[in-house]
Amino acid sequence: MTAKIIWTLIFFCSIRGVYANAAKKEIAYTVAFTVTLFFSMYMLADLFGVLPQGFIEQLF
């Protein structure tokens, strides 16, 4: 339960970080928050059981 809350907070902070830094034209921070955003989306999907079994193994 705690991991879901933490990754949800990271997800929302990443959305805010992408938007705020894109508005200021800070490309490096926008890219960094975008990477964090996608990683947090993956972690949330995994924690909530949305991903199918062997999802990562199919990619590689």
CA distances from residue 17 to 7, 12, 42 in whole angstroms, order as listed: 15, 9, 18
Q: Kindly tell me if the per-residue pLDDT of 48 is higher than 80.
A: yes
DSSP, collapsed to helix, strand or coil, labels residue 40 as: helix
Instruction: Give tens-digit pLDDT for 22-40.
Output: 999 999 999 999 999 999 9
Is-above-0.85 flag for pTM? no
